[in-house]
């Protein structure tokens, strides 16, 4: 699984020549409602095994959590289940807030 920085993810999302990845946020609902990356989908880490069938194995999928730890483990689970194009957002939403949103504010 590859790691992607917040800046790299932002560049990807701004690049009109590339398809947007699936942004899969694995935090809990209260965390997601307090702060999220626009366009992300909530699927708490504990729910992924039961909801695996909802995900596209062929899509670029960026795993997101608070700091990058939970999303890394959830991404490993996806890789073990046949997902090949999985990226972990290094630093999670903390890095996104610091490196992307504060830079554009």
3-state percent breakdown (helix, strand, coil) of the chain, nearest 5: 50, 15, 35
15 is catalytic: no
Measure the N-to-C terminal CA separation of the chain; round to a whole number of Å.
31
**Choosing from 4, 24, 65, 86, which is the catalytic residue?**
65
Residues 22, 50: Cα–Cα separation, whole Å = 18
Q: Which of 87, 96, 99 is nearest to 23 (CA)?
A: 87
Q: Show which residues are catalytic.
A: 65
């Amino acid at each position: 699984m590859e790691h992607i920085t917040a800046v790299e993810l932002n560049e990807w999302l701004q690049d009109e020549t590339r398809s947007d990845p699936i942004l899969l946020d694995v935090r809990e609902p209260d965390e997601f409602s307090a702060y999220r990356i626009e366009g992300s989908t909530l699927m708490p880490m504990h729910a992924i095994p039961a909801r695996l069938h909802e995900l596209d194995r062929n899509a670029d999928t960026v795993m997101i959590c608070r700091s990058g730890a939970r999303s890394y483990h959830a991404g490993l689970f996806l890789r073990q289940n046949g997902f090949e194009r999985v990226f972990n957002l290094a630093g999670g939403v903390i890095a996104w807030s610091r490196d992307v949103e504060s830079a554009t504010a």
